[in-house]
Amino acid sequence: MRSRKGGCVSSFGHRWPPLNSTWTDVLDWHAINFAYSISGFFVGMLVGLTGVGGGSLMTPLLVLFFGIAPATAVGTDLLYAAITKCSGTLVHGLNHTIEWKIVRRLAYGSLPATIVTLLFLNYLGTKTHGASGLITSMLGIALLLTAITLLFRKWMLSHLARYTGNLSDRHKLLLTMLLGAFLGVLVSISSVGAGAIGVTVLFALYPELRTVRIVGSDIAHAVPLAFIAGAGHWFLGSINWPLLISLLIGSLPGIAIGSMLAAHVPDRILRPLLAGTLAVVGIKLSF
């Protein structure tokens, strides 16, 4: 259906820009906010230092500190994560440190689950009180799970090894698909979880693989997952393009600087501090 002002209105009631429009028509470049860029820089530095996904830090910051609507914060952060992780996937791909079999297995579960979750969010309506409450609660739960994973990863892996050590390849396939489905639902609603939670379970399922291959596979899987979830949120009308550009302006150099500093900051200090912060924020959002 075509609107009077040009462009199309989808069956969901969202206005799409005309096909012949340019980015300057779609995006008001004067709306770029450098307060978001500064926040993106510091979050990017922490991501480079700790390896924890930006969603665990950026989404609660947008919701609690800047007052961004939960659906908009999640949708914008998903595209932000997809763009920033493309470079990581490229590097891992060139270094042959991606286990594509694992990426496919995760995708078999995550992509259908993502689509179903997006349809459910559309049914609720992302602007409704119910949808905002669901997103906020799921974000709090995801942050708590991430904090627990960061603090107790070694203990969890040692206990999981008792059950995963002798799994057949068929059982690993099914469990990896289930992990993908769980991440698809969690990430589509909260934008959090694909990093810390996904990597920990993959370590338990595939202990024979080197760490770099597990991390590379997780990053490679996060790109299509975040792009599809982000595209779905775009279709639902919950993407803020000036916010996205503002975050990228700060976060891309922040990640680069944090990665260079990572070797000089004691992980035993930074990781528990980060986990504690996520736990406090997660409790605040959940209750």
The single residue listed with the structure tokens 């999640």 is 74
pLDDT band at 138 (very low <50, low <70, confident <90, very high): confident
Would 150 be classed as within a structural domain? Answer: yes
Would 13 be classed as within a structural domain? Answer: no
CA 80 – CA 253 distance, rounded (Å): 14
Would 40 be classed as within a structural domain? Answer: yes
Q: Which residues pair with 15 in a beta bridge?
A: 9
Does residue 31 carry a pLDDT above 70? Answer: no
240: how many CB neighbours lie within 10 A of its CB?
19
Average of per-residue pLDDT across 205-211: 86
Average pLDDT over the chain, rounded to an integer: 79
Would 23 be classed as within a structural domain? Answer: no
Average of per-residue pLDDT across 10-19: 42
pLDDT per residue as tens digits for the range 110-129: 999 999 999 998 888 767 77
Would 132 be classed as within a structural domain? Answer: yes
- Exposure pattern of 70-106 as b/e (b: 16+ CB <10 Å)? bbbbbbbbbbbbbbbbbebbeebeeeebbbeebbebb
Range of the domain at 206: 32-286
CA 221 – CA 225 distance, rounded (Å): 6
Contact at 8 Å (CB) between 84 and 54? yes
Would 6 be classed as within a structural domain? Answer: no
Would 185 be classed as within a structural domain? Answer: yes
Would 2 be classed as within a structural domain? Answer: no
- Give the number of domains in the chain: 1
Nearest to 225 by CA among 217, 239, 31, 43: 217
